[in-house]
Every structure is written in structure tokens, then in C-alpha cells.
Structure 1
Amino acid sequence: MATDVVIPELETLRLELRPDGIAVMTIDRSEQENRQTRAMFAEFGLVAHALRDSGARALVLRGAGEQAFCAGFEPAEIDAVTRMGVREFLGFQEMATGGLTAIRHLPFPVIAAVHGAAAGGGMSLALAADIRLAAPTAEFACSFVRVGLSAGELGTSWQLTRLVGSGRAAEIAYTGRPVAADEAERIGLVNRVVPAEALFDEAFALATAIAANSPGGVRMSKRALQRNQEITSYAAALELENRGQALMTRTEDMPEALAAMRERRDPHFTGR
């Protein structure tokens, strides 16, 4: 881990940088079911900025307390948002989506450990992760239509369709109905359901397994997987992959991995 990382002052989040290369971001409003606020959306961007060059190899997202991962937007702030003019509201939307986009585009994998409600923007945050683990208590709700908004919010319409397919995404978005953990696993909304008492241990174990691999290889893999969701050309996908592999062969980690295989030992990856 980098030793000169400056952790920003945070009101709604907690950020921990562990010596093993795993970062942990905790939504720290447990008494309010970890609901999002305008300040929180701004702090997502601050956290992402601090982590980008931190040397972290994986990020675990979690909600404080036992009730919820993130139950959506804070009702106490809704009146202020609805009184905004169009330009002011667009600025708020761009700030909010920018915060989640910054988390999604971190150069290393993001793992969401979801328990309890992940509703509205909380579901959007979970969708911004690369991998989602869920406790049996997890319940996802694309509930925007229930409050007079659309599912075209915080990247949800783009992410949800690619995860579960257009038909299932349409049903979930148009009804606003909750999706329980077992259904979420069955339709591919989460990677797997794990016992509630083991949720965070499982998330850290997965992050540890990722962190044991070549940092450059994992980062380039994430870039390829994300960017290739956004293009429709097989040739363009191959072009991106070929450039990435050419770059990876110039790192110190690839010869180290080959040497470790020959010498029957674990590799020591540096990311250089």
C-alpha cells in the first residue's frame, strides 16, 4: 500500500486502507438505514480519488449496522431536491452519478457485501460493484417508479439490463418490486448468497484472492471487461485485448510469475 495516501474527512462514509492491499468503504449511517445524502454522493467521489493511486488491490463496500446495506435516498433531503430548478437539479444529478461512476471505474475490483435493503440508489451502488455477495437478508429494489421517478437513474438502467437481461430488467424496473436474495442469485443479480454471519469474511476472502494476483493483470482485466461491455464490435474488443496483453508482457510481474511456476513457489507481484 502507498504510505502517503491522504484519507479525506468524511461525514457519511468510513474508509480503511488495510496493509494487505484491501480497502474497505463503509456507509456509516446505520441509524438511518445507511440512506444516501447529497453529501454522501460527493464523498463517493472523494473516496474514489483517494483510492485511485493508493496501491489498493481491491475494495469492499459494506453498510454499517445490521439493518441495511443502503436503503436509498434520505427522505429528509427529498424536499430540498424537489425545490431545485432544472439547472440546479441537473448539477446534483451529475454530481451523484459522478460519485457512483468514480467507484465503478476504480482501477481495481470492487466487491459489494450486501445485507438487508439495497433500494433505489442503494441498489445502484451495489450494481456499480464488479462483484456482489449477498446475505440471505439482502433485498434489492429498483423502486424509482414508486416515487415518481424512472429507473434511468444512477446507471441502473444500463447495469441492470446487462446483468439480468432486458426482460427481467423490465419487470423489476416497471413494478418496483423487491428481489429477495435467492432470486437475485438465480437471475445473476448477485454472484452468490452466503450466510449472514460469514458475509464480510467471504468478501474479504474474495478480495484477498484477487489481491494475490498480478495487480497489473487484474487492473487490465477489469478495464477489458468494462470497456468491452460498451462496444459492439468483436474486432474492437480484440484490439483492446491485444494492446493490454502487449503491455502486460513488458511488466516485471509476468517473468516473476513464470519463474515462480518453474521454481514451484508462490509469485511475488509488485505491480511494476
Structure 2
Amino acid sequence: MTAYNPINGHWAASNYDLCTTILRNEWGYDGIVMTDWWAKMNDVVEGGEESNQDTRDMVRSQNDVYMVVNNNGAEVNSNNDNTEESIKEGRLTIGELQRAAINICNFILSAPVIERELVDTDVAKHYDSVPNDQAKYEVFNIEKDNKVMFNSGAEATLEVEDEGEYTIIVNISFDKSNLSQSTVNVNANGTTMVVIQTNGTDGNWITQKLCKVKLDKGVYNLKLEEVLAGIKVKYIQFKKIPKKNK
């Protein structure tokens, strides 16, 4: 992890001499390098003004990973960084991005986690019908309603008529600044289905795409469990993933 501070006008997160000349070339380090949270960078050659959006010079210096972005934030460029713009302008090359990707992939392939068995994401056992103790909660049908709303509390009931894989999308708000973090577990029939984590949104409502889950036909009681208080959840949306033709 690189530091927050500049050295002779060159910020550590985009400092080529630190990340490549010394660390990799002189010391022989072959792992990944990541920034500290919301670090700032500046031009890898000229120095100058710093910005947490300057991922171009982070990559050029061979600092491989920017921390931290929202879940699936790269898909919408949630931090409005200059990576894609710099590729178009010719100020960052595909090869430099590939170099970072190679560092990351080599690390993952040599880490113990690669030995874990790959299994489908699943949830707890479903109910065949709405249990009596859940009848007081609003019922949402995944095929008809698409969204499970949490306007009246932290629990709701989800009915699934057709088993399949679904992408989970949430609409959330957190009144703190982006220096704060909060977490909520979404439990299905008592088992954690997905974890919602976010930095503060200054009270703005944002949409996050989370993981995929496999749901069997049946009924699921969804309950929000605060781990770190603060997140407000407006809805959870389930988007069915089309089956691939074999």
C-alpha cells in the first residue's frame, strides 16, 4: 500500500521511483501495489496539482489498484477518474493497463484463495408458502413487482415463481460523508444472502449493483440486519439473468 503524502512534489500513489524503480526493479517485488483509501495522485513526470481522479498516473507508475470505489463502480466510473479519457487522448496505453492486470492476476493465481472450490451463490432453504409469523410483512412477487420495497420497516416477504439466477441491485442512502462506512446484511430465511456496504453518500440516494444469487421457487423472508448503523435501504431489485443456450 502506498502512502498519502508527496515526496519532493510527487505523490506516493503515482510515484514511479517508489512503485517501480525501487520496489520492483531494485527490490524484486512482483506482487500488487494498491493505494491507501481515497489517495491523491499527480503527474508521474511533471508532478503538479494532485487529484484522487488521476488514476492515469497511478497506473503509469505501476500502482495497480485504486482504493476504494463503490461496488461495481468501474462500470459507471463512479469516481469520475481519468483512465478512459487518458486512453483516448493517448496519455495512457493499453499495455500499461495490461501490466497492472497481469500483476493483479499473478497475485490471485498464487494466493491460497485460488484453491477454493467454485460454487454457485445460493441462499437459505425456501419456504413453500408464507409462514404464519411472516404474514404481517408486505409480500412482493419477484416476477411481477421486480423490487422489494422497505418503506415500512426492515423486513419483507419475497415470492419466487420460477427458479433462476438474479442480479441484486439496491437503492441506498447514508447521511455521512464518504470518509464514513456502513454495512447491512440482507438475510433470507435467517441466512445472509448479500452484504450491502457503502461509504457515506451525504444523504443522496444511490444505486449499487451487487452480486448474483440463485433462487429456487418458493418464499423468502428478507430481513435487514445492521452491522454498522447508518444505511437506509429504499428497495432491493432482482433482475433475472437469461439462461444461456447450450
TM-score, normalisation: structure 1 = 0.27
Q: Work out which structure has the larger RCO, using CA pairs closer than 8 Å and 6 or more positions apart in sequence.
A: 2
Which is higher, the Rg of structure 1 or of structure 2? 2
